[in-house]
Amino acid sequence: MSVVSVAQQSTISSDAAPRAPQLSSPGDEQIAARILADVRAYVPTLRERARQTEVLRRVPDETIKELDELGVFRMCVPVEYGGYALTPVQQFDIVAEIARGCGSTGWVVWVTTTSQQWVSFFDPRFQAELFGMGWVGPLNSGVITAWGPGFARRVEGGYMLKGRWPFNSACHHTPFHHLGASCEGETDQGPILLQVPHEQLQILDDWRVMGQRGSGSNTVVIEDEVFVPEYRVRPIGDIFAAKRLAPAPAGVLYQVNLIQHTASLMAAIAVGLARSAVELFQEKIHRRGISNSIYSSQSEAPVTHLQLGELHCQLRTVEMLARGNVEKVQVLAATGQPADELEIARTKLESAHAIKLASEITALTLRAGGASSIMDGNPFERLFRDSRVVTLHAHTQIETCQEDYGRAFAKANAPAPAAATQQ
């Protein structure tokens, strides 16, 4: 397996001076509207680079730099460190628009901005270290699962860490990586999450996949143990339980349940891909005919009219379901209502269902686009592949989410033992 050297990982560096805080109100509507408008204007550039992004198997450095200039990678940074702390709904709209231009770029923005919310559960020293650095691009990427998959052992002042972590999306672009690990001799504590500097790991050149090819979700490796100081480590269980080491940063973003935020916002990628597919189909019907038919223009065929109607309703359904899901997550956090097992399961299920429906939209446009749609590099086939991959993420496996919701619903609505006995 070949390895990408540190020198090849990115031409973007942190040569700039540390960012001085430019305090704004969390979720400032004018800032959010400005970023959204700028991103919308940037969509044509993202579409032009979509093919290049797939070939590179990572987002081009110029795209990272330009998105940084638009403020995209400050969406989840606390205002205390000069960020914007945009609300989940504001972030949803921006991620969806980026994915409308390029699915892989939308994935990278989603995975790196939501992971910054996790940083707020670490020692304030690490928060200042990461959020205050003059880095161009996303700040944090990584891999976390219930079983590690790295291996750590405690030493004086911290931990020694080694391991292999697959699916580390955006790993080429971030100065730190959060890596899950089981800790030798500390099974009661459960797995831990360690923040590791970029230069202390290697990136394997192994990201060759069906879709989301430009997400740069390579395996990262630490073969020889590296030292991770205590202040860059947190038990994963404590993070999920929202146990902070310091007061939460300002804004509703930092009151939102981590799982709900990550899962619900993921649907924004699918929404953007579906919008792009529908837009492309609406444009193409006036420029092509239907082979082996009497229609020299696809726009004249009744079947096309039926498809346009179906696509309209499917897209509206996906948009309302996905955005409404994020809105509910945000309202619950803003009103201080805790997310119980059923509510978390509902969030994941609705996100998974929206993603599934969006994938069906791209399948319909692929089929309706004719045989040329299957040609390598055709936008229809790329949108189809990218949307299919989104359905396969662990957060949004539809059957798992359906089962989890059904189990939680049945448990929450079970009759009292006495009533059950009387029946």
Domains and CATH numbers, the chain: 3-139 (1.10.540.10), 141-240 (2.40.110.10), 256-412 (1.20.140.10)
pLDDT of res. 8: 43
**CA-CA distance, 194 to 385, in Å (whole number)?**
33
Using a pLDDT cut of 90, give the percent of the chain over it: 84
pLDDT at 13: 47
Record the tokens describing residue 221, joined without a space.
């490796």
The pLDDT score that the predictor gives to residue 316 is 98
pLDDT of residue 15: 45
pLDDT tens digits for range 259-290:
999 999 999 999 999 999 999 999 999 999 99
pLDDT at 184 over 90: no
Compute the average pLDDT of residues 249-266: 96
Distance from C-alpha of 178 to C-alpha of 156, rounded to nearest angstrom: 21
Between the alpha carbon of residue 303 and those of residues 246, 295, 307, 308, 398, the distances in Å are 60, 11, 6, 9, 30
Report the candidate in 329, 335, 348 with the shortest Cα–Cα distance to residue 256: 329
Least confident residue range of 36-40, 94-98, 150-154, 290-294: 290-294
Using DSSP's 3-state secondary structure scheme, residue 86 falls into coil
> pLDDT value at position 50?
97
Question: Quick one: pLDDT band at residue 144, thresholds 50, 70, 90?
Answer: confident
Chain-centroid distance, C-alpha 315 = 20
Q: What would the two tokens of residue 18 be? A: 């540390």
| List of residues 6+ apart from 7 with CB closer than 8 A | none
Minimal CA–CA distance to 312: which of 284, 269, 274? 274
* Per-residue pLDDT reduced to its tens digit, 314-368: 999 999 999 999 999 999 999 999 999 999 999 999 999 999 999 999 999 999 9
pLDDT at 6: 41
Nearest C-alpha neighbor of 372 from the set 298, 294, 269, 314: 298
Length of the chain: 423
Which tokens hold the place of 169?
């999306």
Mean pLDDT of the chain: 92
CA–CA gap between residue 228 and residue 159 (Å, rounded): 5
CA–CA dist 264, 250 (Å, integer): 21
Dihedral sign, CA of 123, 127, 128, 134?
positive
Tokens 């699915």 map to which residue?
103
Pairwise CA distance, residues 220 & 202, whole Å: 6
Q: How far is CA 248 from CA 141, 243, 254, 327, 338, in A?
A: 21, 10, 6, 21, 16
Q: Are 199 and 175 in contact (CB under 8 A)?
A: no
**Rounded distance, CA 41 to CA 35, Å?**
10
Greatest alpha-carbon span in the chain? 78
* Strand pairing class (150-155; 176-183): parallel
pLDDT of residue 284: 95
> What is the DSSP pairing of strand 202-204 with strand 3-4?
antiparallel
The answer to whether 373 touches 366, Cβ cutoff 8 Å, is yes
pLDDT digits (tens, 9 = 90+) for 373-397: 999 889 999 999 999 999 999 888 9
Q: Taking 70 as the threshold, does the pLDDT of residue 307 lie above it?
A: yes
Please give the helix or strand (H or E) that residue 197 lies within, else none: strand 192-197
Question: What is the H or E stretch that residue 314 is in?
Answer: helix 302-334
Which tops the pLDDT comparison, 314 or 420? 314
Q: What is the pLDDT of residues 10-25, one digit of tens each?
A: 544 444 444 455 578 9
Mean pLDDT for the stretch of residues 109-124: 95
Q: Which amino acid is at 80?
A: E
pTM of the model: 0.92
Give pLDDT tens digits for 152-167. Answer: 999 999 999 999 999 9
DSSP bridge pairs for 35: none
Q: How far is CA 290 from CA 137, 277, 376, 379, in A?
A: 45, 18, 20, 18
CB–CB of 289/378 below 8 Å? no
* Integer Cα distance of 78 and 124 in angstroms: 12
Count of CB atoms within 10 A of residue 244's CB?
Answer: 16
Q: What percent of the chain is modeled with pLDDT above 70?
A: 92
